Structures are given as C-alpha cells and as structure tokens.
Structure 1
Amino acid sequence: MRLLTTVAVIGATAIPAFAEEVNVYSHRQPELIQPLFDAFTAETGITVNSSFVDKGMVERLQAEGSRSPADLVLTVDVARLGEVKDAGVLQPMDAEALSVIPANLRDDENMWFALTTRARIIYAHKDRVAEDEVTTYEDLADPKWQGRICTRVFTHDYNVALTAAHLAHHGEEATLAWLEGIKANLARKPEGGDRDQVKAIWAGECDIAIGNTYYMGGMLADDEQKAWAESVRIEFPTFEDGGTHLNVSGVAMTAAAPNRENALKLVEFLVGDEAQRIYAETNHEFPVKEGVALSELVASWGEFEADDLALSEISDLRPRALDLIEQVNFDG
C-alpha cells in the first residue's frame, strides 16, 4: 500500500507495499516519532508508514472516505483530537492494554487516547519575578501584571484548551472577565509561538509568559535559544479549585483502517513501558502510564498537581471558549 501525497502533506514519499504494515497520518514532526516506529518494527516486524500532515487532516480523511490508507492519526492538543472525532472519521478502540490510560485522559467514547501529557505553565524571569509570585491561572488577570505578560494568540489551540478548562471550572461570566484581565496585562500584542514568548522575556519585553513545558527541553538543546531558556524558570500554576492544566498528544483509529489489527498492536505498543519512556523522553513530555520514570530534565522542573478535569469535557467546551476569546477581541 502507498500513502497518497497531497499538498497538505510535508515529507511524504512514495512507499513500497509491505505484507505487514500500519499507516499513520501525523501532526507530529517525523523526528519526534520515528524512534518509536523503529522500535515497534524491530519488535514486531510490522512496518510503519508515516506521513506528516501539516494542515487539512480532517479534510483529507473526509475526502478519502472509506478508501483512506490511514489506519491511525497522531496529533497534539485535545482540540485537534476533538475536531477529528466530530468529523465522523474515527472508530472506537477497545483493548485491554489501553486501560492503563486514566479515564480523564481519554475520550468518553474511546475514540481517542492520550499518549503523553504536557502542562500549560508559566515561564517567569528568574530575577524580575519572585518565586511563587504567580501560583494560579486566575492570578494572570491581576492588575499587578499590567504590561508584564506575553503570549501567543489566544485563538491558538493550546490557549483555547486552557480557556475551555477555565470555563469548565468557573463558567462564562468569570471566564470573560479573566480573558479581559489578561488582555489588559499584555506587554505586547499576541504573536509568535511559545518559544518566542521566552525570547521576549530574555529581551526584557515582558516578565512572564504562558507556554507548554516541553519547549524548555527544545530550547535548552538549541545553541541560540539556550540563553532564552536559562533566563526563566518554570512555574506550575493551578486553578483555584483544581490543578495544573494538562494537554496531550494522542492517537485515534480511522474509520477506514485497512490494517486495523496491526494498528491496534501499534497503539498497544505506544502505551507500553518502553515506548512511553522513549516518547516522553524524546519530546520532553510526561508519560500517561503510571510508574514510567520521567526523564532527568523533565523531573528537574519539579512536581505539580495535575488537574483532574476530563479532557473530553475541555474538548466539548472549545467552541464556546473560542467564542469568548473572540468576544473580547483578545488577539486584536
């Protein structure tokens, strides 16, 4: 079988047919997941054909329909998992091996499962922000931060998910006020990615920024960005009635899945001890399986209490969260 190549795919090449194979459409960069696929092939003899789909994942699966060669979808962020589910292009997965994934980190209809988690945290300047000066997400709206916060656009999936979590905890009125408060505290118009916010702190444009934990690992490994990373520390804020907001990288099985049994074997492998270790360590994320050790770097960031809010609830609330973000014209 060959994976089709479209303008939405980057790096997909013609792949020869294999008797035992599984085909993956992935939002994740190839270098982040290839070590896992190599380990799976070495253990099972099943070849993994992966296409990096930069944009249009849902549209592509809908267009291909029952003829799609894709067995699995790998993506990041609960919002993207929710979009694929809502498009009606998935089927549920039912395997005993998946029972290791906590209930709040899976779809309530078994349409998708988390493989790793990442925390949405605060990057704080080591000198200009005292330790424990920001302890809650709600605190970001406090006027004491006026002119001191940087963030990427809030209409980005990562911030939509955070807003949906706030909405689940506090309701619409409080979430609207929270968004208005953060917007009033911005040092500049939202722009760039999470790493760009850390660069802005290093450059003195702001003192704190909202970002994902794993970017710290990537910056520390980059000659230019290492100085940015070393200018900040990670703070794990919590919701006032909850814990630190988590998002996920996750997996789902397509409705077409021409290699369903092999695809299920790959998913079961990905939640196993060794794959969890590789996946989390390669991407500087947290394993979803209890008992799998953190990488030394990730462990050095400290312990935190994860929010136990079901990610399926966050996914369901994302359209309303986006409405509220646009209502305050946060990115304008």
Structure 2
Amino acid sequence: MKRNILWGLLATLAGLGHVLAAEPVLNLYSARHYQADEALYENFTRKTGIRINRIEGKAQELIERIRNEGSNSPADVLLTADAASLAVADAWGLFAPVRSPVLEDRIPAHLRSANWYAFSTRARLIIYNKRLLKAEDVSTYESLADPKLKGLVCSTSGGHIYNLTLVASLVAHDGEARAEEWARGVVANLARSPRGGDTDQIKSVATGECGVAVSNSYYLARLMASEKVEERNLVKRLGVVWPNQADRGTHINVSGGGMVKTSKHPEAAQKFLEYLASDEAQRYFAKGNNEWPAVPSVQVDNEELQALGSFKADSVSLVSVARQLPKAQKILDRAGYR
C-alpha cells in the first residue's frame, strides 16, 4: 500500500513538473522604465496566460547583451525608446521579421520597418520663455540657428540620442549641407555648454537661464501634472511651439520593439507585440506615460496631452530617418556640438 502511494506521489510530481515546464513564458528585454508599463504586462498575462520575465537596462546595454549572448540569448522581445536604438538593433541583425496582418494593419507604415514596430509616439517640442521670446521667433527647428537667438539656446549634448535622431530628420528633409549649417548655428547660439536631459532644459528655460530649448513632449506633460507646486508654476512661464506646422510638421520619435531573431518563444513574442498594438495597450501608453498611441484610431484620454492641443506631425518614414544617423553624428562632431 505504501509503495502504491509512493508511486502515485511520484507520478503526480512528474506530471506537475511537466506542467511547470510547459508554462508559457515570454522573456522581455526592455529599455522602457515607466511604472505604468506594469499594468501592460499584468494585463497581457491575464489575457493570455503567458508569464513575462523582464530584464531592464539602457538600450545600448541590452543590445550589447543580446549580441554577446548570441544564439543562447533567452530574449524573445526587445523594447526600447527612440528610432535610433531600434535602427541600431536592426542593423546588428538582432530582430526577426514578424509577419502579422494585425500589426501591419494597425501601425502606420512610416512608424515601422520590416523588423520592428513603433507602439507609441512623442513629439520634439520647442519650449520658450514667454518673457524673453515670442512664438513667432521659434516657429521651426531651423529657427534655432538664427543669429538673433545668440546666447538664448539650451540643449542636451550633441551625442544625446534625441538630438541625434532630430538631426537625422533634418538631413532627411533639408540635406546634409543645410543640416550642418543648422548645427553650427545652434552651437553659436548656445547659452551654456550642452548638459543634462530634457527636463533640465525645460527648467533652464523657465528660470531664464536660457530662452529656448527642444524637449520630448512627455517631459513637459509630467511637469504639467506634477504634485510639486513649484514645478507646475515653472510651466506657467513657458510657451510651447509645435515646430514646422507650415511645412513638414513636428518631428516625431517613438517607443517600439521587435522579436529577437533567436527567440525560443516566437508565438508568445508575436502575441505580445500584437497586444501592444491593441486599443487597451495603446490607451495605457497615452495615459500612463503621456505618449500618443501609434495606432491613429485610438482616442487619447490624457488631460495634459489634450491641453497641449493638436498638431501636424511629420510623416517621414523613421526608417529613412534612421539611415541618416551616421551622417547626423558626423555633422554634430564637425560642428563642435559637444
């Protein structure tokens, strides 16, 4: 009798081990560090039963990690911000093509490549001090190089990935020579040496250290919704311009991702990418991190984004912008944009 019970227990444990081994999982490498994304992952697991194992890090670190892991990489999906990071990962051959009618139908063509998809967008706004400048003084990105702004421009470093992608877009639109002329003009107009991130630029403009800067939209939206009264008061001193509304539109960047080519769970990876394009997930991007949905049919329910108003976005293909990244870096180096 005891032997029968023992064999029964062993059989049960063996069966349980098989179930545990077969538990569907997704290994996610993510350069997104936003608390609101937790709801995305929890909802995906609840809907699909696929558990997410997540490793977070900076985009460059995660790209290098996947490269070093080679065919042994456990990564199924890489998520990161900025088209430049997606382009670098793609250039290193880290992504596998995902043939998904769902993704191709929902994500506009200019926000995807053959191997990666954007799931949220953010705009590069021009922020100016209303006491020092008027909106018509800074209506385009090109205007930041105007000599009348000498000593008024604040900026992140030339090597910052946001700057790099913006300059790549200028190359795509204006050509290499004009983009370099612009970079030299901005350097000549700097109020101080480039430093800090976008939030630092916004605060420097608000305090009058400089008159104008460029920032990703979601940093401004965060300050607009801040629990700190002093930060909300800083925003009141600022004017906001959607650049280039009379021509190509405001430069857009993205968060996005793709399936890693060595994925051990490709079906789960595709399901996850398709989930990120769902109405539910798209609304989380907008509400949780002040980003616009990549899917144009999804309505934004975000007080700060609605307060910023509507605008014409640049519809240039981000793939074509990414091709200009090496030229953009050389331009910034030659211009002394440190």
1:308 is matched with which residue? 315
Displacement, 1:48?
A: 1.3
Could you tell me which runs of 5 or more consecutive residues in structure 2 were left unpaired when the two chains were aligned: 1-19
| Farther-moved stretch of structure 1 (49-58 vs 175-184) | 49-58
SS in 1 for 2:249: coil
Q: 1:262 aligns with which of 255, 265, 268?
A: 268
Displacement, 1:234?
A: 2.2
2:91 is matched with which residue? 86
Given that residues 28 and 78 in structure 2 are in contact (C-alpha distance below 8 angstroms), is that contact kept between their aligned partners in structure 1?
A: yes
Given that residues 169 and 251 in structure 2 are in contact (C-alpha distance below 8 angstroms), is that contact kept between their aligned partners in structure 1?
A: yes
Matched residue type, 2:261: A
Structure whose residues are more often helix by fraction? 2
SS in 1 for 2:138: coil
Displacement, 1:130?
A: 2.1
Distance in structure 2 (CA, Å) of the matches to 1:293 and 1:128: 36
Identical residues among aligned pairs (%): 37
Displacement, 1:230?
A: 3.1
Matched residue type, 1:52: E
Higher Rg: 2
- Number of residue equivalences: 314
SS in 2 for 1:93: coil
2:135 is matched with which residue? 131
Q: 1:27 aligns with which of 19, 25, 31?
A: 31
1:249 is matched with which residue? 255
Matched residue type, 1:252: G
Displacement, 1:150?
A: 0.6
Displacement, 1:241?
A: 4.2
Matched residue type, 1:140: L
Given that residues 138 and 239 in structure 1 are in contact (C-alpha distance below 8 angstroms), is that contact kept between their aligned partners in structure 2?
A: no
Could you tell me which runs of 5 or more consecutive residues in structure 1 were left unpaired when the two chains were aligned: 1-15
* 1:11-35 CA distance string (max 9 Å, x none): xxxxx97711111101111514211
Q: 2:43 aligns with which of 28, 39, 42?
A: 39
SS in 1 for 2:215: strand
Tell me which stretches of 4 or more aligned residues in structure 1 moved more than 6 Å: none
Q: 1:77 aligns with which of 76, 79, 82?
A: 82
Given that residues 98 and 259 in structure 2 are in contact (C-alpha distance below 8 angstroms), is that contact kept between their aligned partners in structure 1?
A: yes
Matched residue type, 1:227: N
Q: 2:188 aligns with which of 184, 191, 196?
A: 184
Task: Tell me if 1:280 matches 2:286.
Answer: yes
SS in 1 for 2:235: helix
Matched residue type, 2:145: A
Alignment of 1:103-114 (within 5 A): 103-107=109-113, 110-114=114-118
Displacement, 1:218?
A: 2.0
- Length-normalised TM-score, structure 1: 0.90
1:116 is matched with which residue? 120
Distance in structure 2 (CA, Å) of the matches to 1:174 and 1:192: 26
Given that residues 36 and 284 in structure 2 are in contact (C-alpha distance below 8 angstroms), is that contact kept between their aligned partners in structure 1?
A: no
* 1:62-119 CA distance string (max 9 Å, x none): 1111111110001000110011011112101111110211111101xx2111000001
- Length-normalised TM-score, structure 2: 0.89
Distance in structure 1 (CA, Å) of the matches to 2:288 and 2:62: 24
Distance in structure 1 (CA, Å) of the matches to 2:30 and 2:21: 19
Given that residues 137 and 239 in structure 1 are in contact (C-alpha distance below 8 angstroms), is that contact kept between their aligned partners in structure 2?
A: no
Given that residues 30 and 52 in structure 1 are in contact (C-alpha distance below 8 angstroms), is that contact kept between their aligned partners in structure 2?
A: no
2:174 is matched with which residue? 170
Q: 2:162 aligns with which of 117, 134, 158?
A: 158
Given that residues 245 and 311 in structure 2 are in contact (C-alpha distance below 8 angstroms), is that contact kept between their aligned partners in structure 1?
A: no
Distance in structure 2 (CA, Å) of the matches to 1:49 and 1:216: 32
Distance in structure 1 (CA, Å) of the matches to 2:280 and 2:147: 46
Given that residues 169 and 241 in structure 1 are in contact (C-alpha distance below 8 angstroms), is that contact kept between their aligned partners in structure 2?
A: no
SS in 1 for 2:259: strand
Given that residues 18 and 47 in structure 1 are in contact (C-alpha distance below 8 angstroms), is that contact kept between their aligned partners in structure 2?
A: no
